Structure 1
């Protein structure tokens, strides 16, 4: 499992794994936008007290810097494993989905996070991409497995799928209760080894990595940022740290028309 670390001044962390295979994928930081405190400044939280116009401007900023052919598709995230297939110009879908998939060139898909794990998936050969929102509930519900299954049903192959795991709450800060620990430990072979005690904590990224491996994705095709959102208040929003005053990062993936 490798690390992704190409950061730009506009608040983007580009996935090097996806880039090497001709896929556009990135995770935003909190810098380079227009939102005022406490949402400063590259905020994408549509349910926050930030002005909707600020969020639209932030979308325009990353669309220009990435660059994206159009705004990304988004949906209402509910910590489950429902999915939506997206095509054409992006917009906010008024349906519940924590997995957004596309097989349409230049149709970016995105998820919002602030401690939950963003996972970007792509099969360059079948030209299918997915953005996955994996909080602890989604992880316990094996949301990444649902995403991989949906991709395979449309022609992707597990051994070809690339997976980029973005910034999320790390095991240093992710304290959980016994119920969450039990559900996460049962979510994948070996997941119990990613639950720690004194205090009770979990490694969300590591558990999702195990689930991806169990789906047939190979180790060299998985990368992780290894960045904890709680530990870096200057770089990332964190709901665990800041509560309802927290903004949201955005994780975006697309297959450019030039590939």
Structure 2
């Protein structure tokens, strides 16, 4: 899947990939790219190769070892060996495809086409709350990007009706900023609330002064197209697949 605001940028290729079009079987069917899953490593490798081919990348898409942190790392060549622990990658090097993997958290792709700088961030609630979006933009600026030119698009992530949280979760956000009340709706379960992760993420992006948009798609509700950690948990399934969102500058 592509978004018009990124698709129209010169020299930028991107894709928010679904779970479809791969070779994995069973609960991982079919384009599972999660190396942290228990899927057949050969299937994951083939799926990642298909993603790279779709982007026109000679190397597999570089993804970090995601740990729900606020850390963004800048690279100038495809990652090899042990992946760095971070939750965003930034590059200004043409031909280096970067991405993040998700299964409910928000994948955000960034681009300043004029500067030739791109970024990919994994924004779950912890990352968004602790500054992963801001740090990705700062890393892009260090390479010459200007935030007023940066386009940022939030890909498929869990939607508010499917994201129930407990009172301690709400308290954490409201203690940080009383205005965060607006991201919570009432739940049928006493003391719980429904969290608008997408709305919160977009608000933080817009506060940075970048051009922010979203695909507006829910991973939990759309089982045909997306993996979902929470859906898997609710069903008591043993594991789950991950989809990838990736971006690259043309050679």
TM, length-normalised to structure 1: 0.88
SS in 1 for 2:5: helix
Distance 2:186 2:241 in 1: 30
Distance 1:214 1:188 in 2: 14
Q: Tell me what 1:96 maps to.
A: 85
Q: Tell me what 2:4 maps to.
A: 16
Q: CA deviation at 1:160?
A: 0.3
Instruction: In structure 2, list runs of 5 or more residues that go unmatched.
Output: none
Cα deviation code 1:208-254 (max 9, x no counterpart): 1111111111xxx3221111100011110000001342100001011
Distance 2:194 2:81 in 1: 34
Single out whichever of 78-87 and 227-236 deviates more from structure 2. 78-87
Q: Tell me what 2:63 maps to.
A: 74
TM, length-normalised to structure 2: 0.91
Alignment of 1:89-238 (within 5 A): 89-91=78-80, 93-185=82-174, 190-198=179-187, 199-217=192-210, 221-238=211-228
Instruction: In structure 1, list runs of 5 or more residues that go unmatched.
Output: 1-12
Distance 2:82 2:142 in 1: 23
Change (3 A) 1:189 1:27: farther
Cα deviation code 1:79-132 (max 9, x no counterpart): 011121122234464321101111101101111100000000111111111100
Q: Tell me what 1:256 maps to.
A: 250
Q: CA deviation at 1:176?
A: 1.1
How many pairs were matched up?
A: 242
Q: Tell me what 2:43 maps to.
A: 54
Distance 1:239 1:210 in 2: 24
Q: Tell me what 1:246 maps to.
A: 240
